[in-house]
């Protein structure tokens, strides 16, 4: 790994349980407000009476066309916000030089749950055939690229809960290596039957609000939403006089190969990812204002993460934002990166909602009240099923 130039983030977008813009999401993260409800309208499960999740408020997708999945709609809204904030129209760009990378988990999986159920129950109809065809016709990144008329490379990243962070890191690579001038990247996911039941059956969901890094933490809450970051090379920034929302400075990725669902307790892969990201950024832990942790509030995740933070980011303040967004799976890394940029630019790190009692085993106390910061760099990391770990180093808009 070698030092590379920072890549400019010229636009951001975000829609999740705590807001429908990056600014609103951050403002609500500061006060701990978000939409936490039982997903009775969205999921047919006996568990819906018991396990609430962090949902995008229905009013935020009231105009969603029936032809789009929630994942598609959320991602499109976030992407449009990113272009709006950048102050550039997609048509102004050289379409062949714009890449699109989207991280997700539900949409790229076989998500035609009800059509499959009809097939199993011998009640499959022509409408179900159309559902299957729609699924086959909309690989996520390719579909998003088509919405803006781009013709450059595209990639749907499916490294489970690390997808959003990987999408941002790979987008930086695409700019660094000259593959693209501009990359629209991010992540999107939705609450649906399979992950909702799956996480409950794995006994890692909690019916209460999650409490990252708390001694009494007892599991995760699912969430949903999307976030987009528009990355541009120097030539494009100068050509269009684009404003700067921040920077991506480093990306690290390493796999554990340890267990299907649990992280390596020694967090060797995560430590490697953090170390790579810092090296590429040319920074040390002393330059980092805070880390936006994966912080799912599961016993295993928070324990492994604390080991990695003590080793790679000693003394760096930790924020767990999933207690206001929920675990948005493939979107998580992107949502957290956008919130991290907001915190850097506002010089204020929100409190970790839900945290009440330190866990001596972790020896780590996350932010317990809004924390003013002066440093201009932060880390956001993600861990995933299958042992994939990813981290990005981000910079404030005035970092350079």
Partner 1 sequence: MPFDLFINGQSCLTGDAPVEDFAPFLDVRKLRRAQAVSKNALLCACKALAQAQLTPQAQTDMGISLALGAGALESTLKFIDTIVEDGDELSSPTAFASSVHNSTALMLSMFLHIHGPCIVTGQFDSSFAAALLSAQQFLQKNMCEQVLVVISEDINPLVEQCVQQDAHVFDPFIYQPQSAFQRVAGAFVISAKPTEKTSHILRQVSLSRTDDISTQSQPQFPVSSCAHSVLLFEERLKTNSPFVWREQFAGSILEITGEPYVFS
Minimum CB separation from partner 1 for residue 361, in Å? 25
Beta strands 225-232 and 7-16 are antiparallel
Torsions phi, psi for 342 (to 5 deg): -60, -45
Q: How far is the CB of 19 from partner 1 (least distance, A)?
A: 28
Residue 363's φ and ψ, nearest 5 degrees, are 55, 45
Q: Hey, how many other C-beta atoms are within 10 angstroms of the C-beta on 282?
A: 15
Distance CA 168, CA 251 (A): 8
Those residues with Cβ within 8 angstroms of residue 233's Cβ, 6 or more apart along the chain or in another chain = 7, 8, 175, 180, 181, 182
Nearest to residue 79, comparing CAs of 185, 189, 232?
185
Q: How far apart are the first and last CA of the chain?
A: 22
Which residues from 196-225 bind partner 1, rule CB under 8 A? 197-199, 201-203
142 near partner 1, judged by CB under 8 A: yes
Query: Could you tell me the smallest distance in angstroms from the CB atom of residue 288 to partner 1?
Result: 21
Based on the shown chain and the rule CB under 8 A, indicate whether residue 177 belongs to the binding site for partner 1: yes
Quickly count: other Cβ atoms within 10 Å of residue 63's Cβ. Answer: 8
Write out the binding residues for partner 1, residues 19-48 only, by CB under 8 A: 45-47
Give dist(CA 307, CA 38) in Å, integer.
34
Closest to 244 in 3D by CA, of 93, 21, 397, 377: 397
Binds partner 1 by CB under 8 A, chosen from 11, 22, 52, 152: 152
65, 178, 314, 315: which one contacts partner 1 (CB under 8 A)? 178
Is residue 272 close enough to count as binding partner 1 by CB under 8 A? yes
Q: How far is the CB of 118 from partner 1 (least distance, A)?
A: 10
User: Out of 62, 66, 137, 374, which residue is the one contacting partner 1 (CB under 8 A)?
Assistant: 137
- Residue from 8, 34, 159, 342 binding partner 1 (CB under 8 A): 159
Residue tagged 């850097």 (tokens): 344
Helix axes 140-148, 70-86, angle to 10 degrees: 40
- Catalytic residue status for 259: no
Q: Closer CB to partner 1, residue 160 or residue 331?
A: 160
Does 300 help bind partner 1 (rule: CB under 8 A)? no
What's the token pair of residue 356?
A: 């009440």
Q: Closest distance between partner 1 and the C-beta of residue 330, in Å? A: 10
Position among 67, 133, 215, 234 found at the interface with partner 1 (CB under 8 A):
133
Q: Which stretch binds partner 1 (CB under 8 A): 148-156, 217-225, 295-303, 346-354?
A: 148-156
> For residue 399, what are its two tokens?
């970092």
Q: Does 304 bind partner 1 (CB under 8 A)?
A: no
Q: Count the site residues for partner 1 by CB under 8 A.
A: 76
Determine the 3-state secondary structure of 391 from DSSP. Answer: strand
Note whether 384 binds partner 1 by CB under 8 A.
yes
Residue from 93, 160, 182, 392 touching partner 1 (CB under 8 A): that is 160
Q: Which of residues 88-127 bind partner 1 (CB under 8 A)?
A: 96, 105, 108-110, 113, 115-117, 119-121
Candidates 176, 300, 347, 397; binder of partner 1 (CB under 8 A) is 176
- CB nearer to partner 1: pick between 46 and 59: 46
Q: Are 6 and 298 in contact (CB under 8 A)?
A: no
Sign of CA dihedral 108, 109, 112, 116: positive
Point out the residues that are catalytic.
161, 294, 327
């Amino acid at each position: 790994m070698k030092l590379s130039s920072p890549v400019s983030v010229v636009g951001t977008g975000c829609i999740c349980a705590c807001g429908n813009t990056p600014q609103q999401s951050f403002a609500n993260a500061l006060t701990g407000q978000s939409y936490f409800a039982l997903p009775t309208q969205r999921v047919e499960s006996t568990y819906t009476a018991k396990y609430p999740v962090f949902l995008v408020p229905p009013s935020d997708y009231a105009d969603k066309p029936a032809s789009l999945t929630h994942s598609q709609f959320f991602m499109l809204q976030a992407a449009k916000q990113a272009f709006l904030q950048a102050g550039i129209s997609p048509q102004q760009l050289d379409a062949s030089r714009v890449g699109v990378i989207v991280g997700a988990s539900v949409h790229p999986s076989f998500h035609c749950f009800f059509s499959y159920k009809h097939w199993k129950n011998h009640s499959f109809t022509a409408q179900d055939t159309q559902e299957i065809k729609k699924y086959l016709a909309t690989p996520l990144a390719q579909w998003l690229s088509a919405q803006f008329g781009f013709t450059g490379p595209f990639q749907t990243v499916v490294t489970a809960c690390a997808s959003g962070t990987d999408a941002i890191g790979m987008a930086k690579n695409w700019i660094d290596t000259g593959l693209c001038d501009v990359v629209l990247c991010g992540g999107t996911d939705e609450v649906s039957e399979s992950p909702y039941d799956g996480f409950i059956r794995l006994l890692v969901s909690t019916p209460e609000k999650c409490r990252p890094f708390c001694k009494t933490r007892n599991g995760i809450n699912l969430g949903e939403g999307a976030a987009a970051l528009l990355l541009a090379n120097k030539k494009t920034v100068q050509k269009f006089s684009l404003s700067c929302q921040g920077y991506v400075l480093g990306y690290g990725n390493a796999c554990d190969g340890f267990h299907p669902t649990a992280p390596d307790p020694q967090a060797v892969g995560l430590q490697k990812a953090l170390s790579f990201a810092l090296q590429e950024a040319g920074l040390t832990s002393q330059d980092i204002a805070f880390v936006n942790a994966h912080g799912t509030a599961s016993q295993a995740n928070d324990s492994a993460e604390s080991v990695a933070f003590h080793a790679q980011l000693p003394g760096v303040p930790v924020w767990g934002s999933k207690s206001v967004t929920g675990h948005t799976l493939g979107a998580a890394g992107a949502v957290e990166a956008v919130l991290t940029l907001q915190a850097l630019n506002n010089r204020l790190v929100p409190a970790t909602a839900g945290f009440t009692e330190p866990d001596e085993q972790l020896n780590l106390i996350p932010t317990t009240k809004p924390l003013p910061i002066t440093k201009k760099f932060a880390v956001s990391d993600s861990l995933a099923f299958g042992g994939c770990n990813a981290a990005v180093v981000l910079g404030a808009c005035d970092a350079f």
